[in-house]
Amino acid sequence: MMNTIMNTYQQFAASPATISTANAILAGARMVQRCVRLHNDRAHLNELPDHMLRDIGITRSEIMSITSFHGRDASRRSRT
């Protein structure tokens, strides 16, 4: 019984190369997902009128930087 379990495990166990490849694919998928989300966020923010943007604490000129990979400039973050 134990030999059968060990043989099955060895047959289906992922090698370090397989794990590395899977991690790289997963990281790429996450990056694509983040790009799509940022694109959608940018589009939604650009649709808002200026008074609503002011209500959430941003200006229209900041939309592109806020919806980039690096996010909002740290100097603009509230210090509460």
* Cut 0.85: pTM above it: no
Q: How far apart are CA 72 and CA 53, in angstroms?
A: 14
Backbone torsion region of residue 57, taken as left when φ is above 0, otherwise alpha when ψ lies between -120 and 50, otherwise beta: left
Give the pLDDT confidence score for residue 79 in this predicted structure.
39
Give the pLDDT confidence score for residue 8 in this predicted structure.
59
Are 22 and 15 a contacting pair, CB within 8 Å?
A: no
Give the pLDDT confidence score for residue 20 in this predicted structure.
83
Give the pLDDT confidence score for residue 54 in this predicted structure.
95
Number of domains in the chain: 1
Q: Does residue 61 sit within a domain? A: yes
Q: Does residue 13 sit within a domain? A: no
Give the pLDDT confidence score for residue 22 in this predicted structure.
80
Q: Does residue 12 sit within a domain? A: no
Q: For residue 61, give its domain range.
A: 18-70
Q: Does residue 3 sit within a domain? A: no
Q: Does residue 7 sit within a domain? A: no
Q: Does residue 28 sit within a domain? A: yes
* Beta-strand runs (E) in the chain: none
Q: Does residue 76 sit within a domain? A: no
pLDDT along the chain (80 residues), means of 10: 61 68 87 93 96 95 88 51
